Structure 1
């Protein structure tokens, strides 16, 4: 798993225009600020069984702010930081990287691309579908693939995962969607130039 996770991060890093990024101080602050903002969010974990902890993701906001390449790099940095601080184990870093960052983050960005390509480009579509609904779908997908991995790797049986992990998912859907939806709304209204995936000409002008 570590090979797949690191490969995805390297592909993202390879395709970043580093010369342009290094020349823009605002993008430095925005990128690292977004990565740091995820750290306390991911530190707030709750769970009954070891390895079955739940927390809010915030990945949808990061995907819409930074795009796939830089967003994946910064969310991987967030994971590295919380692992370094001891909130996650180094022994599970490979699983957390692939199943907790790379796959759900890529899924969230894919949902945005689908909404951009096939739905009417309107501000409310961006906020409520690419943001609010997307966040709920992303945390659902992440929870499901983690559940499958726990059962497949024989760490827990299906009933234990269902009772101690999947059963919490309905309680996370609306708060995760609301958290990301509100963050995206505030950013679009007050700092639209911070949103790499948002342009007034696409979602607002002549609508």
Structure 2
């Protein structure tokens, strides 16, 4: 019931915000769609290789940075459905992955990003390292630990080992997101809905005009 309640509240809020209004007439950028299409491959990796210790990456934080929280919440729904079909998951497991690989990491990353914008300077490297790399890793790790704490480990898997596996997978998420965010900021900033040159590349104010000479002739 917890997973269902979290998903229902998040989807209702995302629909209420109507995030599709910010998408232009040409539709979302193709990297958003490509990343959504690639996520079922990483969400079900433990089932594909047949090992419960292998931890799937989240990828939700990168989608959050590219599309924003409301669109990410809605876009992750079909990702969960496709993962269920490809990895042969029942609907409860698909819902669990939607919440703990998608919704919770994205929401935690949103909170981390809000804190960085509130308390740290609006600097380019704060965005890349704070939101792209470290924020992604922290959000994914905390979501994984919360999932283990609330639901326990799968049968035959030691809980302590699973905690370590979630920690390592989270840093894989952070490295991937940080690298791509750095590339996008440099070459395609329009692909990042959470980035703005006006905010993170502030030009210094012009120097004040020099006073006119006051000496006598």
Output the TM-score relative to the length of structure 2: 0.80
Query: In the TM superposition, what is the alpha-carbon distance from 1:29 to its structure 2 partner?
Result: 3.9
Alpha carbons 1:150, 1:161 under 8 Å: kept: no
Task: Name the stretch that deviates more: 8-17 or 126-135.
Answer: 8-17
Equivalent residue number for residue 169 of structure 1: 166
Higher Cα Rg, which structure: 2
Query: In the TM superposition, what is the alpha-carbon distance from 1:191 to its structure 2 partner?
Result: 0.9
Residues 6-59 of structure 1 deviation map (CA, whole Å, 9 limit, x = unaligned): 2311220221244553x522426454333113222323336744xx65111122
Quickly say closer, same or farther: Cα 1:66–1:77, change in 2 above 3 A: same
Query: Map of 1:19-58 to 2, 5 A cutoff?
Result: 19=21, 21=23, 23-27=24-28, 29-45=30-46, 48-49=51-52, 53-58=54-59
Q: Which runs of 5+ in 2 are unaligned?
A: 205-217
Equivalent residue number for residue 207 of structure 2: none
How far apart in 2 are the matches of 1:10 and 1:81?
Answer: 21
Equivalent residue number for residue 200 of structure 1: 197
Query: In the TM superposition, what is the alpha-carbon distance from 1:156 to its structure 2 partner?
Result: 5.2
Query: In the TM superposition, what is the alpha-carbon distance from 1:71 to its structure 2 partner?
Result: 1.1
Query: In the TM superposition, what is the alpha-carbon distance from 1:95 to its structure 2 partner?
Result: 2.3
Equivalent residue number for residue 116 of structure 1: 117
Query: In the TM superposition, what is the alpha-carbon distance from 1:138 to its structure 2 partner?
Result: 1.4
Quickly say closer, same or farther: Cα 1:173–1:100, change in 2 above 3 A: closer
Query: Map of 1:77-92 to 2, 5 A cutoff?
Result: 77-92=78-93
Match for 1:3 among 2, 5, 13? Answer: 5
Equivalent residue number for residue 98 of structure 1: 99
Query: In the TM superposition, what is the alpha-carbon distance from 1:203 to its structure 2 partner?
Result: 0.8
Query: In the TM superposition, what is the alpha-carbon distance from 1:146 to its structure 2 partner?
Result: 1.6
Query: In the TM superposition, what is the alpha-carbon distance from 1:141 to its structure 2 partner?
Result: 0.8
Q: Which runs of 5+ in 1 are unaligned?
A: none
Quickly say closer, same or farther: Cα 1:146–1:17, change in 2 above 3 A: closer
State the superposition RMSD in angstroms.
2.5
